[in-house]
């Protein structure tokens, strides 16, 4: 085979770096989607926040309402109608030559209100920002990203 000259190597590396920069937002969106899939699975199967703590339980009246409608009440899963979780999407907020900032939030005022309510409800033990990833989730998304990024390495 042909051995690359230093100039060819530099040219190829430059092309890969330009391609990586051009794809930065797409790659960042992929990472965010990986993270949200893991966050959603954790909330739906364990009702835990990013630290592994269970969310504060449902109030007795809301638990009764959920039960009456055939929903589980063992833990808080932010999944009564399914609209909140379905509305959560990543959006590119800013892209620079070296970074991409992605916002993960809900669409629709009613869904945004639900996310905001979790920050203060219940009063004694607010559920907080339910979209924060755990360290393990970040590590898994990071590994998946490193595997995807192999295509940029000569």
Q: For 102-122, how does the pLDDT look when each residue is reduced to its tens digit (9 = 90+)? A: 999 999 999 999 999 999 999
Looking at residue 112, its pLDDT comes to: 96
Alpha-carbon Rg for the chain in angstroms = 21
Phi, psi of 105 (to 5 degrees): -150, 175
pTM of the model as a whole = 0.85
Strand partners, 95: 100
For 25-38, the pLDDT digits (tens) are 998 999 999 999 99
Looking at residue 30, its pLDDT comes to: 92
Looking at residue 14, its pLDDT comes to: 87
| CA gap 33, 30 in Å, rounded | 5
Looking at residue 17, its pLDDT comes to: 82
Looking at residue 96, its pLDDT comes to: 87
| CA gap 86, 91 in Å, rounded | 14
As a residue count, the chain comes to 154
Lowest mean pLDDT across 7-21, 32-46, 81-95 = 7-21
Looking at residue 137, its pLDDT comes to: 96
Q: Chain-wide mean pLDDT for the chain?
A: 93
């Amino acid at each position: 085979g042909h051995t690359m000259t230093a100039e060819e190597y530099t040219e190829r590396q430059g092309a890969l770096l330009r391609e990586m920069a051009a794809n930065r937002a797409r790659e960042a969106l992929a990472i965010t989607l990986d993270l949200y899939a893991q966050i959603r699975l954790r909330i739906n199967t364990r009702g835990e926040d990013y630290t592994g703590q269970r969310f504060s339980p449902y109030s007795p009246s809301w638990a009764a309402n959920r039960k009456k409608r055939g929903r589980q009440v063992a833990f808080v899963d932010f999944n009564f109608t399914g609209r909140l979780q379905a509305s959560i999407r990543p959006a590119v907020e800013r892209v620079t030559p070296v970074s991409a900032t992605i916002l993960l939030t809900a669409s629709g005022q009613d869904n945004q209100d639900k996310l905001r309510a979790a920050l203060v409800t219940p009063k004694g033990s607010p559920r907080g920002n339910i979209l924060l990833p755990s360290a393990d989730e970040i590590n898994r998304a990071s590994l998946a990203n490193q595997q995807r990024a192999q295509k940029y390495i000569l």
